Amino acid sequence: MASPSFTAPGILLVDKSPGLTSHDVVSRLRRILSTRRVGHAGTLDPMATGLLVMGINGATRLLTFFVGLDKTYTATIRLGESTTTDDAEGETLGRAPSEQLARVADTDIESAVATLTGEIMQVPSSVSAIKVGGKRAYARVREGETVALEPRPVTVSRFDITGIHRTDDGIDVDVVVDCSSGTYIRALARDLGFRLGVGGHLTALRRTRVGPFDIAEALVLDDSLEAGEATARTTFALRDPADVAARIFATWKLTAEEADHLRHGRATALATPGEGRYAAISAEGRLIGLVDASASGVRILFNMSQESP
């Protein structure tokens, strides 16, 4: 099967495999779908697996509005060892003696987790993608610099322990975390170990939800597929921008005249549907754009390119 010369704009939910970077997924989709216009809303480290929200062609413009959505992760935290990256890919900074670990009771772990739940101030991991002086923090760390990031407010609405396993190497704590955008699970692992006085780092991470989108809806990019079959499966899995936007925002059904005004940027000609952010959708069911509506009128956030095959 030949690759199509045109792929309609859409959103693709991908279940990232371990070892791949988020950019690896972008590159693979560019090849499969024969387009350069591929982006993602929120990276995952190579060690991590799970949900990536990808934008294809004109739908890449929607991704900006997905970045702030809350997320769910499952993770395993190893207590008893701290690392330079706060995860298993870093070098060991220190290990707690076995007798010290033996004194950490399950109830101690539960109490420490409770202190990291709710609205908290979190210092991001020094190997995060946060920019310091115009350069990513992880790049500065790789160059041998010591990076100290400022604490920032985040919300951890759920931090549940699903299992505690004591091994020769430490204590493995399986958790589920619901959190606001910008929360670092590696930093939760580091801080949990710090509160218990034994050190800690992340050994496994899987993102299972981004806003209303669940990992069960995601496509696994299978390396074993022939090029044509990979293209067909991926194209079939693309989600219409209007359907996706309607899961995040209130919808505003436009008349043909209103749709024409919005396409041409004539916001002053539009009647306010009520205050709030809206996905403006034509009578034919196509996403025309996103708008902010207030008592003073309508502000266009962006207009969707009306691409068609």
Catalytic site residue 45? yes
CATH number at residue 111: 3.30.2350.10
Same domain, 181 and 105: yes
Considering the candidates 15, 45, 178, 191, report the single residue annotated as catalytic: 45
Residue 8: exposure state from Cβ atoms within 10 A (0-12, 13-18, ≥19)? middle
Domain identity same for 85 and 172? yes
Residues 28 and 97 in one domain: no
Of residues 109, 118, 119, 138, the one with CA closest to residue 46:
138
- 98 and 151 co-located in one domain: yes
Structure confidence at residue 142 (pLDDT): 62
- 196 and 180 in one domain? yes
In a domain? residue 191: yes
Residue 21's H or E segment, with its range, is: none
With b meaning 16 or more CB within 10 Å and e meaning fewer, what string describes 91-100?
eeeeebeeee
User: 233 and 266 share a domain?
Assistant: no
pLDDT tens per residue, range 103-114: 999 999 999 999
Cβ–Cβ < 8 Å for 304, 241: yes
Residues of the chain with pLDDT under 50: 1-5, 308-309
- For residues 81 and 163, membership in a common domain is answered with yes
pLDDT of 75: 98
Whether residues 75 and 202 share a domain: the answer is yes
Looking at residue 4, what is its pLDDT? 44
Q: Whole-angstrom distance between the N-terminal and C-terminal Cα of the chain? A: 18
Domain boundaries, position 260: 243-303
| DSSP three-state, residue 196 | helix
Looking up tokens 């399950």 gives 106
Tell me what pLDDT residue 1 has. 35
Number of domains in the chain: 3
The pLDDT assigned to 231 comes to: 84
How much is the pLDDT for 309? 43
Residue recorded with tokens 């204590």: 171
Same-domain status, 25 and 111 = no
Same domain for 183 and 231, yes or no, is no
Instruction: Classify residue 82: in a domain, yes or no.
Output: yes
249 and 259 part of one domain: yes
What was the pLDDT predicted at 2?
A: 40
pLDDT score recorded for residue 3: 42
| Three-class SS state of 240 | coil
**286 lies in a domain?**
yes
pLDDT, tens only, 185-207 = 999 999 999 999 999 999 999 99
Burial of residue 88 (CB within 10 Å: 0-12, 13-18, 19+) is middle
> So what's the pLDDT on residue 30?
93
Model pLDDT for residues 193-247, shown as the tens digit of each residue: 999 999 999 999 999 999 999 999 999 987 766 667 778 888 889 999 999 999 9
